[in-house]
Amino acid sequence: MAVKTDASIPKLGARSTRQRAAVVNVLRELTNFSSAKTIHQEITARNYKVGLTTVYRTLQSLADINAVDVLHMSTGETLYRACESNDHHHHIVCSNCGKTVEIDGGPVEEWAANMAKANGFVLTGHTAEVFGTCSSCQHA
């Protein structure tokens, strides 16, 4: 199966490879945060030849350049999702089905800056993810 490598896939990092393009293609098709193992299973189902170790390395390199959203779960699992926005944002995630919506940080942004300043820090970043149950899962 051919992997889309045209100009619509930005060059992500130093090397643009067939394996990297396969990971990016699958990430763009998945709507929820997914583990490296799930992403690898999706890649394999599409008949791309990419090893699990390569998927882990690619996801880490994409995270390093802020090309993917990363969600660190309380279980220790790390989940990944293609960014829909280049702007700073947060997520609300359904704890049941994993549906994810990108949201503006609103007052969280000011609060984080104020807390850093009040404690003698210079803010270099923050994360804030919101979890709940989506309307579909509430009605199921």
User: Is 94 assigned a ligand-binding role in the annotation?
Assistant: yes
User: Is 109 assigned a ligand-binding role in the annotation?
Assistant: yes
Is residue 22 classed exposed, middle or buried when 0-12, 13-18 and 19+ CB atoms within 10 A define those classes? buried
User: Is 97 assigned a ligand-binding role in the annotation?
Assistant: yes
- H, E, C per residue of the chain: CCCCCCCCCCCCCCCCCHHHHHHHHHHHHCCCCEEHHHHHHHHHHCCCCCCHHHHHHHHHHHHHCCCEEEEECCCCCEEEEECCCCCCCEEEEECCCCCEEEECCCHHHHHHHHHHHHCCCCCCCCCCEEEECCHHHHHC
User: Is 83 assigned a ligand-binding role in the annotation?
Assistant: no
User: Is 126 assigned a ligand-binding role in the annotation?
Assistant: yes
User: Is 88 assigned a ligand-binding role in the annotation?
Assistant: yes
Q: List the one residue out of 19, 14, 13 whose CA is nearest residue 5.
A: 19
User: Is 72 assigned a ligand-binding role in the annotation?
Assistant: no
Query: Which residues are annotated binding-site positions?
Result: 88, 94, 97, 109, 126, 134, 137
Query: Which residues are annotated binding-site positions for Fe cation?
Result: 88, 109, 126
Query: Which residues are annotated binding-site positions for Zn(2+)?
Result: 94, 97, 134, 137
